[in-house]
Amino acid sequence: MLMSSFLIQQKTEVEEYIAKAAFIYNFTKFVEWEKPETNGGTTFIIGILGDSPIHKHLLDLAANKTINNKKIEIVKCNSTMASTCKCQILFVPTTITNKDFKDFLSELTTKNVLIISERKGFLDQGSAINFLIIERRIKFEINMGSLNKSNIKASSQLLKLASTVQY
């Protein structure tokens, strides 16, 4: 019985990260980067800070999709080397501590990055979009100040879908 409980929980986590990967991909349809990509525009780069189960699901998505007719590349970013993390979207998993997140943001040299997190409190620390689980459903909240600071505009459609929008 314990094993079947674990399998159900494991399946739920897999489904959660498949859904979050799909959300991240779909966010690109509702946001606009004001500055051109820093990588020459040949690929759209999604970074993951540290380790996360979402990595595999983003790789699966990248194998079959494009963003603005650009190939998607998934890169792993090191929490101690923010200046080397060149991406248009950065996913920050729950495995990253509050201190590591603050330190990373203070070192981040590229301001044109959509930061998406999944830890309570990260929205107040600089994340633009933060995932929440409410009543077993994935929701998200948006920080307009962080979007503006990153030179990223969100469509009104995306703002309507958010569970909370901070101004």
Going by pLDDT thresholds of 50, 70 and 90, the confidence category of residue 5 is very low
Give pLDDT, residue 11: 63
- Give residue-wise pLDDT tens across range 95-152: 999 999 998 888 886 779 999 999 999 999 999 999 999 888 999 999 999 999 999 9
Contact (CB, 8 A) for 48 and 74: yes
